[in-house]
Structures are given as C-alpha cells and as structure tokens.
Amino acid sequence: MDNFRSLRVMDVFKGLFQTFGIDYPSMRTIVGLKLTMDERRIPVVFSQTKLKEGNQFLKSLGLYVLYGLATIPFLYFGDSVMLQMGIVFGIAMFMIMTSLIADFSSVLLDVRDRILLAAVPVDDRTLNAAKLVHISIYMTLIAISLLGIPSIVILISKGISFFLLFLVMMIFLMLLIIALTAITYMVMLRVFDGERLKDMINYVQILLSVGVFVGYQVLVRSFEFVGLTISYEFSWWHFLIPPLWFAAPFEWLLGGNTSKPLIVLSIVALIIPIIAIWMYIRKMPLFERDLQKLMSEARGGKQQHPVMMKFWEWVLCKNSEERASFRFSWQLMKRERDFKLKVYPSLGIGFVAPFLFLYIFLSDGTWEDMITSNTYFMIYFGFLIIGPLAVMLSYSSRFKGAWIYAVAPITSVSRVNRAALKASLAQLFLPVYLLQAVIFTVLFGWRIVPDLVVVLFSAILYAVICYAIGAKGTFPFSLPMGESVQSGTAKQIILMLLIGVFVGVHILMSKIPYGTPIYLVVIVVGCLVGWNALLPVKRKTAHM
C-alpha cells in the first residue's frame, strides 16, 4: 500500500497539511487504501474494450496522451493566441471534467466513507482532505498525460515565459474544475433524490463516450477551415466561456493586447477558481450531509404509464408470455444503468454517423450531386446500433435475478428471447431509424422510400442474426455484465462486416430494373424465415 509514488510526493507537503490541523498519518492511510481500491476499478473510457489486471486508470492515461497530442496543432492555428489557447483549454477542460464526472463520481459520492470511517476516530477535516487529495492526485495525472507533451512543445517553440504562464493557468483551471464538478453535484444532490442523481451521472458518462467519438471526427474535419487568419475580437458572451478566461492572460501579457475586457477576463481567471474552491471547502459538510440521500430509502413514486411500451406491446406481441417478457425487457432496458452505458453510446454514434458521412461527402461535392446520388445508403450506418444492442441483451448487472426464468413455467424460451429483441428494437432502434428515415426523405425525396422500407426489414433480419450470434440460447439479462466485455470485440467486428453484406446486396439490387421491389419481397421473406429459424417458437430448454 505504500508503493504509491503519489503518496511519496504527498509526503513532501506533510507540514502544510499539518498546519491546517489535518491528522497526516490517518489521511495518508486513507488515501493509500483508496488508491489500492482504485486498482480494481475500470474507467469508462475503457468500458468497451477488454482489460483485466492492474490499475485500469493508469492504463487509460495512454489514451489521454493521445488526446493531448491532438491539441498540439491548435497551438499554431491562426494568429490569435487567444483563440489558440482558448481551444486548448477548452479541450483540456472537457476531457478532465467529463472524466472526473464519469470515473470519479464514485469517489466524490462515496457513501461508504460515511459508514465505515465515521465510526473510526478520524475527524471530518481529515476525511475531507483525504477525499480532496485523492481526487487531486488523479486530476494531476490526467492533466500531466493530457498536457505533458503539449507543454514541452510550448516550452520549445514559444519560450519559457509562455510555458510558465501555461502551468499557472493550468493549476487554476484544475481548481475550477474540481470546484465546479463538486458544486454541480451539490446542486444536483439538493434537487434530485439518490436514484435520479445516479441516472444523471449515467447520462454524463454516456455523453463522454459519444463526445469522444464525435469530437474526434469534428476535430479531424476542422483542420480544413481553420487555416485562415482570425484575429481576436471581444464580445460580452466570452465571459460565459471559462476556457477563454484562461486564454486571456496570454493575449494580454504575451500578445501585448491591453484592452480592458482582456484584463478583466484575466482577473476572472484568477478570482473565480479561488472563490469556487473556497466555497467548496466551506460547503463540504453540507455536501456530506446531502450525500446521505444516496443511501436513503425512497418512498412513494408514481405508477408510470409508458404509452410507447403499451403501443408496441399491442402491435408486436400476441401471446401473454411474450407480452410479459416484452414489458419486463422494456422496463429493464429503461432502468439499467450498466446496460445504458454500454448501449447508448452506440445509439448516439449510430444516429450521428450517417449524417457525418453525408457531411464529409458534401465537403467534396455539391448539394445537387448529393441529393441525386445514392449516398442515402449511408443510412445503413444506423445498423451500428443493432450489434451492441442485440449482444448486450443477454447481460445484466443483476443477472442473479435470472433464477426466475428457470423456476417459472416458461413454455418457450424463444418467445422470451423474441420479446426481448422486439422490445429492444422498438425502444431503441426504431425511434432513431424513423427519425433518420424522415430526415433522409426530406433530403433525398420520395424516391428513396422503397429503399428505406428495405432497410427497415434488413434491420429486423440483421437484428435476429446478431442476437443468434450474441446470445447463444441463454435468457435475456441472465449473464454477468462483466463478461460482456470479454466476449465482445471479435463478435462485434463480424457483425459489422455483416452490415457490409447487406449494403452490398442492396446496392447491387438497386442497379437492376425492378431490383428494389424484388429485393423487398426477398428481404421480407428473409425476415420471416430468419426469425422462425433462429428463434423458433417451440419447447426447448435453455442453458443457464
């Protein structure tokens, strides 16, 4: 437990902690223990890949190094230091803040502290300091990985004064991030109850995953239009963008621009973080008290009347066993955070991808070219949703509850599986697809409607194939969530290649006269055959 380098670095500041009345040895023990526990946690950035041993967080730092490299070109965009640094601080702030929320919510919102440590003779001040130190250690590590290389580049190409100013600004930025995150949580804790709060955190985690994908694409594109010379012009709303506060001193001190607003922005960059962190420290006891909410037993709650669920249940399910499973799956998918964390990012990607690639096409050709072309086949990128969805359907963080399937007199395993697959498509794929289809029809005109119908049936066929490959006869939600990580990647690649087959055949058929209507018939028959062959409704036992 003593082998942590960060702890030895912390020892340097021993005296400082003690002057604040903190019981240093206790704090060191607590932080050491937490670091040990962290070695057994998996960060969100890595949730899609497989990894087992060691401190997953430290390994994820490599990824931050990559993101850091991506910031370097921005250091040389245009002529305005303000814009350059604004973008760099913006990226840093987004990355650090989202990872703080995604991976360290559990640290900030740790209630076990309260239960386990409150009985031990350690005062609150020491406990809170331990928490703050723990978070700071990781923030520092993230910041160093993210901006280590860029700061060396700065040192070499922009000189020592630029470099020092950069370091100082980074420290203030980090103070602001810690305080801002904590204050955000304080407000959320006041407003929401425990379950709601966990949902909110879940959405931030999902946003992070989608943000990384989309951000990356956009970042790559943006090289094209930021070649030009932009000089900085102040507008009042710049006060609302924190990264610009931190960029202001560069423009003022190094760029020699002494306009009033810039000086004010620079002062804001110093004062706000200090006020924020001071508020955080002062309000900490209050925060800790509100944390109790996370453990509270909520009473009440209203009965929900999900209209969509009832509609699709009525449309898609005939048998009562199937209906029961349909509702059950629908409700579980709506609630289970781990499921959302694994599936929703691909939902976002699947929605954005077709438009992103159309956009890329547009940057090479004209609007006229695009709407008369067959680029509407891009809508197949929406299938990216189905693979992870169908595979994840077998997993649950509460998989132990699956005994109910074995105990209950279920007449057909396939019926339960069908219901789950139908529910997942109706709840998550269909809304995205319908929205995409409407937008595509607006863009490309009525001519593509028959093809869109083909795509829909292809999706239904594709889904059952994915499910047959992914689920292997088990009941839905009956395998431990952790295992999903281990079996995923290879399968996902096969499933993605399969999308290519669908696209290829469809494009070929669309070239033949009357090809599309013929293919529509083929694919509808394919759906019927596929569903009945892969999920046949007859008595059969599942492997538990």
Candidates 15, 62, 121, 301: give the one binding another protein (CB under 8 A): 301
Which one of the spans 11-19, 106-114, 327-335, 353-361 is the region binding another protein (CB under 8 A)?
Answer: 327-335
Please select the residue that binds another protein; options are 220, 406, 494, 533, rule is CB under 8 A.
Answer: 406
3-state SS class at 78: coil
Candidates 242-250, 292-300, 366-374, 449-457; binding stretch for another protein (CB under 8 A): 292-300
Query: Rounded to the nearest whole angstrom, what is the least distance from the CB of residue 57 to another protein in the complex?
Result: 26
User: Cβ of residue 157: shortest distance to another protein, in angstroms?
Assistant: 53
The window from 170-178, 355-363, 401-409, 430-438 that contacts another protein (CB under 8 A) reads 401-409
* Residue 407 engages another protein in binding (rule: CB under 8 A): yes
Q: Judged by CB, which is closer to another protein: 203, or 223? A: 203
- With CB under 8 A as the contact rule, the residue among 104, 172, 477, 519 that binds another protein is 477
What's the min distance (Å) between Cβ of 327 and another protein? 7
Report helix, strand or coil for 330: helix
CA atoms within 13 A on the CB side of 252: 19
Residue closer to another protein, measured from CB, 163 or 328: 328
d(CA 390, CA 279): 47
In the bound state with another protein, the residue whose beta carbon lies nearer, of 283 and 323, is 323
CA neighbours within 13 Å on the CB side: how many for 263?
5
CA atoms of 348 and 307, how far apart (whole Å): 23
Please pick, from the candidates 34, 131, 134, 327, the single residue that binds another protein as defined by CB under 8 A. Answer: 327
- Determine, following the binding rule CB under 8 A, whether residue 297 of this chain makes contact with another protein: yes
Q: Which of 122, 324, 469, 524 binds another protein (CB under 8 A)?
A: 324
* CA gap 188, 206 in Å, rounded: 18
Residue from 15, 121, 256, 300 that binds another protein (CB under 8 A)?
300
H or E element that contains 93: helix 81-108
Binding status of residue 221 toward another protein by CB under 8 A:
no
410 binding another protein? (CB under 8 A) = yes
CA angle 343-180-342, nearest 5°?
5
Task: Please report whether residue 396 would count as binding another protein according to CB under 8 A.
Answer: yes
Evaluate whether 414 touches 538 at the Cβ level (below 8 Å): yes
Length of the chain counted residue by residue: 544
Our finding on whether 115 is near another protein (CB under 8 A) is no
d(CA 176, CA 170): 10
Scanning 30-38, 105-113, 315-323, 440-448 for contacts with another protein by CB under 8 A, the matching segment is 315-323
Site string for another protein, 189-218 (x = CB under 8 A): -----xx-----------------------
Residue type, 403: W
Interaction between residue 331 and another protein (CB under 8 A): yes
Rounded-to-integer distance, Cα 10 and Cα 280, Å: 21
Q: Which of residues 247-276 bind another protein (CB under 8 A)?
A: none
What is the closest distance, in whole angstroms, from the C-beta atom of residue 304 to another protein in the complex?
Answer: 7
Q: Is 476 in the site for another protein (CB under 8 A)?
A: no
Nearest alpha carbon to residue 232 among 241, 224, 223, 221: 241
Is position 304 an interface residue for another protein (rule: CB under 8 A)? yes
Contact at 8 Å (CB) between 93 and 178? Answer: no
Task: Please report whether residue 513 would count as binding another protein according to CB under 8 A.
Answer: no
- CB within 8 Å of 507: residues ≥ 6 apart: 374, 377
We find the least distance from the C-beta atom of residue 420 to another protein, in angstroms, to be 12
Q: Which of 403, 480, 518, 528 binds another protein (CB under 8 A)?
A: 403
Integer Cα distance of 383 and 9 in angstroms: 49
Q: Does 395 bind another protein (CB under 8 A)?
A: no
Distance (Å, rounded) from C-alpha 29 to C-alpha 35?
A: 10
Residue 19 or 303 with smaller CB distance to another protein: 303
Give the residue from 455, 449, 439, 437 showing the smallest Cα distance to 499. 455
Per-residue tokens: 526 = 């394919």
What one-character DSSP code corresponds to residue 395? E
Name which position in 335, 438, 508, 518 contacts another protein (CB under 8 A). 335
Distance (Å, rounded) from C-alpha 476 to C-alpha 339? 12
Q: Phi and psi (nearest 5°) for 297? A: -90, 115
Instruction: Report in angstroms how near the CB of residue 345 gets to another protein at its nearest.
Output: 19
Q: State the Cα–Cα distance between residues 393 and 437, nearest whole angstrom.
A: 25
296 binding another protein? (CB under 8 A): yes
| 151 token code pair | 């700061």
43-66: string of b/e by CB count within 10 Å (b at 16+)? bbbbbbeeeeeebbbeebbebbee
Does the footprint of another protein cover residue 298 (CB under 8 A)?
Answer: yes
Stretch that binds another protein, among 246-254, 300-308, 345-353, 499-507 (CB under 8 A): 300-308
In sequence order, what DSSP letters do the residues of 180-235 get, joined into one string? HHHHHHHHHHHHS-HHHHHHHHHHHHHHHHHHHHHHHHHHHHHTTT--S-------
Q: What are phi and psi of 386, to 5 degrees?
A: -70, -40
Site membership for another protein, residue 408 (CB under 8 A)? yes
Report the nearest approach of another protein to the CB of residue 234 (Å): 50
463: its two tokens = 């889904």
Taking CB under 8 A as the binding criterion, the range among 156-164, 238-246, 294-302, 371-379 that sits at the site for another protein is 294-302
401 binds another protein (CB under 8 A): yes
Q: Is residue 418 part of the contact set for another protein (CB under 8 A)?
A: no
**Residue 480: CB minimum distance to another protein, A:** 12
Residue at token pair 């963008």: 241
Q: Which one of the spans 142-150, 210-218, 221-229, 295-303 is the region binding another protein (CB under 8 A)? A: 295-303
Tokens encoding 37: 């526990």
Q: Which residues bind another protein (CB under 8 A)?
A: 194-195, 296-304, 320-321, 323-325, 327-328, 331-332, 335-336, 396, 398, 400-401, 403-404, 406-411, 477, 541, 544
